């Protein structure tokens, strides 16, 4: 195996043509929780192609306090004011990071206002609401991207390159895991992730989505059937079906993914693809505060592949802004997100019926 060939020539932003602008994409952040203040806003500030100009929250005072610490935020408004069109001249795009079942109303309003939309995953709590998101964006010709940050993560992109270049032969099996002790990370038993109506599910919906979607990205394929088992054991998870979950995805061409997820387990994340001639593995993989590591096994040799560690959220925002500035359709559009919602709901059905569920 030519190790030198593996470490050179990788362009983490092979999608990028425009590197600077005098007219950055202006974002309204919808939802001003810790993810927005600690991850999204700093990522936008660090980038070159966008800026945050509007904050939207249920609590105007909270939004105003955050805005006071920002050099670019011009307006702090309520959800009601957003729906009424307040400050709509001050932003070009929205980033939606409310609970899952509350995404749709903000997508509808943003689309009606002619704004581009970056919506956190999973895109909604039900298939019907997710489908409506796609419909309303089509009706108003609004750009919709679902925020899958693994698509712009260098470790994952390099892993896909190695698979596409044939270093593992024909892909056969994906093994993926994402687990966390959610009540230690967010010590609130009344949080929305544990409310089935707001979340639409728990372990599989919230973090099982990562190995699911990354499997699709690495294999460049969509699942055709699923099997799965989910369970909630502890009292705190009584209102959701899946404190823990394990599922199998069948892909065309006899490729399979085995995935696990838990909201009440040791913090861990990894994904690997085993082929007829080798294996590629990313571990840690999915948490943005971890330094990712990439390893390739081929021809009896295992090597660590070098790549640049980056801020996953900065890459995601810069990619979306780049798409808007260059009039390019983003990769993870609403139809892409719908595949995941349909797959996740099929996993829950497979667990309940103890059967294999075929996907359309």
- CATH of residue 176: 3.30.360.10
Q: Which residues of the chain have pLDDT under 50?
A: none
Same domain, 77 and 215: no
Are residues 171 and 160 in contact, defined by beta-carbon separation less than 8 angstroms? no
pLDDT digits (tens, 9 = 90+) for 57-68: 999 999 999 999
Is residue 313, in this structure, part of any structural domain at all?
no
343 with 297, same domain: the answer is yes
DSSP conformation letters of 143-158: -EEE--GGGG-HHHHH
Place of tokens 């065309």: 252
Indicate if 276 and 300 belong to the same structural domain.
Answer: yes
Distance between start and end Cα atoms, the chain: 41
Domain boundary residue among 100, 132, 147?
A: 147
Whether residue 53 is found in the same domain as residue 158:
no
pLDDT tens for each residue of 92-132: 999 999 999 999 999 999 999 999 999 999 999 999 999 99
Provide the number of structural domains found in the chain. Answer: 2
Average pLDDT along the chain: 96
Is 323 domain-assigned?
A: no
Domain extent, residue 29, equals: 1-147
Q: Which of 103, 131, 147 is the last residue of a domain?
A: 147
Task: Give domain status of residue 319, yes or no.
Answer: no
Same domain? 131 vs 245: no
Residues 142 and 155 in one domain: no
Q: Of 158, 155, 166, 207, give the one whose Cα is nearest residue 340.
A: 207
Last residue of a domain, one of 147, 168, 188: 147
CA distances (Å), 141 to each of 92, 135, 253, 324, in order? Answer: 14, 10, 35, 13
**pTM of the shown model:** 0.96
186 and 127, same structural domain?
no
């Amino acid at each position: 195996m030519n190790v030198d060939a593996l470490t050179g020539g990788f362009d983490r932003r092979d999608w990028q043509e425009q590197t600077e602008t005098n007219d950055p994409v202006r974002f309204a952040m919808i939802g001003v929780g810790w993810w927005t203040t600690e991850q999204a806003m700093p990522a936008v500030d660090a980038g070159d192609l966008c800026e945050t100009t509007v904050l939207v929250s249920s609590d105007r005072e909270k939004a105003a306090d955050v805005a006071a610490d920002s050099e670019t935020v011009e307006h702090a408004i309520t959800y009601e004011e957003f729906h009424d069109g307040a400050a709509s001249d001050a932003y070009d795009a929205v980033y939606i990071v409310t609970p899952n079942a509350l995404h749709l109303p903000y997508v509808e309003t943003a689309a009606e206002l002619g704004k581009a939309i970056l919506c956190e995953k999973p895109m909604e709590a039900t298939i019907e609401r997710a489908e409506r998101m796609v419909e309303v964006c089509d009706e108003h010709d609004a750009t919709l991207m679902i925020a899958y940050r693994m698509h712009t993560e260098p470790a994952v992109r390099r892993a896909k390159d190695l698979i596409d270049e044939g270093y593992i032969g024909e892909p056969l099996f994906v093994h993926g895991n994402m687990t966390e002790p959610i009540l230690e990370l967010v010590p609130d038993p009344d949080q929305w992730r544990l409310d089935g109506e707001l979340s639409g599910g728990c372990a599989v919906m919230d973090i099982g989505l990562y190995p699911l979607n990354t499997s699709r990205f690495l294999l460049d394929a969509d699942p055709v059937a699923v099997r799965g088992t989910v369970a909630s054991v502890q009292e705190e998870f009584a209102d959701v079906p899946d404190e823990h979950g394990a599922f199998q995805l069948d892909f065309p061409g006899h490729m399979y993914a085995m995935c696990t997820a838990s909201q009440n387990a040791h913090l861990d994340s990894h994904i690997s693809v085993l082929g007829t001639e080798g294996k590629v593995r990313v571990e840690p993989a999915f948490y943005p505060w971890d330094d990712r590591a990439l390893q390739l096994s081929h021809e009896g040799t295992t090597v660590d592949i070098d790549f640049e560690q980056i801020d996953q959220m900065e890459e995601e925002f810069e990619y979306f802004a780049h798409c808007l500035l260059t009039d390019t359709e983003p990769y993870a559009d609403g139809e892409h997100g719908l595949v995941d919602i349909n797959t996740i709901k099929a996993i829950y059905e497979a667990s309940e019926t103890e059967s294999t569920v075929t996907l359309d």
